[in-house]
Amino acid sequence: MTVLFDADEIQRRIAELAVQIEADYPPDEEVHLVGVLKGGFVFMADLVRAMSARVTLDFIAVSSYQQSTKSSGEVRLVKDVDTRLEGRHVIIVEDIVDTGLTLTYLQDILRARAPRTLRTACLLSKPSRRLVNVKVDYIGFTIEDQFVIGYGLDFAEKYRNLPHIAVLDEA
Ligand code: IMP
Ligand code: MG
């Protein structure tokens, strides 16, 4: 297992992202973050704590990868948000954008709820793997085509609890 980003590097980058995100919205307007379970939960937890009090949050769960490092290309909604998104500044918070299929699906269903604005924040991006052209407004780190684990990201549901992001060599 090779460490790509250690815990300190991740925190520093998230602090920068939080500053960037906050600067993009009027200071008196609420921002509603929608975290994508399960992979996005650690990033979400650190990102909201780096942001100001005008943040609210919710979670949505989708399933795309089935016990392997290859996507089936199929996205399924497992848990919807509990709150209305109409008229709100919504930011999707996701661990990684790979083919882009998951985010395209999420952006489509959330856009249909008529948010005032809809943006996307991803901790990681693998642009060389993109199958669909999806807009990601905030990206933490751009990486090569390698399977990564830790900091929320799993391989067969394991390694989500690692404090760093590492490359899974055997994949
Ligand atoms: P996409 O739909 O192909 O963009 O895949 C997005 C989802 O696949 C992410 O939310 C992750 O759950 C998963 N995924 C993609 N690449 C990796 C990886 O390198 N490690 C762990 N999960 C990944
Ligand atoms: Mg995910």
Which of 41, 43, 65 best tests ligand 1's pocket when mutated (most atoms within 8 Å of CB)? 65
Contact present, 26 and 52 (Cβ < 8 Å): no
The mean-pLDDT minimum among 2-11, 60-69, 81-90, 152-161 falls in 60-69
> Tens digits of per-residue pLDDT, 108-117?
999 999 999 9
- 8 labelled catalytic: no
- Taking the alpha carbons of 140, 145, 148, 152 in that order, is the dihedral positive or negative? positive
Residue 89 CA to ligand 1 center (angstroms) comes to: 25
Asked if residue 147 has its Cβ within 6 Å of ligand 1, the reply is yes
Q: Is the CB of 91 under 6 A from ligand 1?
A: no
Region 84-113 average pLDDT: 97
pLDDT at 68 exceeding the cut of 90: no
| Band (67; pLDDT cuts 50, 70, 90) | low
Instruction: Please determine, for residue 53, whether its predicted confidence score (pLDDT) is greater than 70.
Output: yes
| Residue owning tokens 């083919």 | 99
